[in-house]
Amino acid sequence: MRILNFTQHDATAEQLSAGVVEPDGHDKERIRQLLTFDELPKHSDLRQRATNCAVLASVLLKKYECDGVLIGGAPFFMSQLESVLRLFKVRYCYAFSRREAEEQIQPDGSVKKIHVFKHVGFIFDEEDCQ
């Protein structure tokens, strides 16, 4: 399955090897513009933005020969986006990552603990798509 990255962030190497397709620079910038909110949106703004996303997703799915889109972003926008993607019959999923702790020894001998997110899989909009 090929999944178009329809998020503001670049796909990780793990996601790319799992079938995520990264759109080219112009398309990625358009996605970022649609998913970025710099001002407090009204409900009608969210619905219009979600519709614009669904239209763009429909076009890009064909362009990149993908089966669905990977979504993510502002929590206040996701329910609107999901709803409109369903109306447009665009399959969508979320990435599922596991946070793993790693220790890094510093030059002075101290230990720095960091958390790394490891891609595990996808959560699809339909149960039978997993």
Q: Contact at 8 Å (CB) between 16 and 2?
A: no
Report the Cα–Cα distance between both ends of the chain, in Å, rounded. 11
What are the pLDDT digits (tens) for 64-79?
A: 999 999 999 999 999 9
- Give tens-digit pLDDT for 45-68: 999 999 999 999 999 999 999 999
Provide the whole-model pTM: 0.86
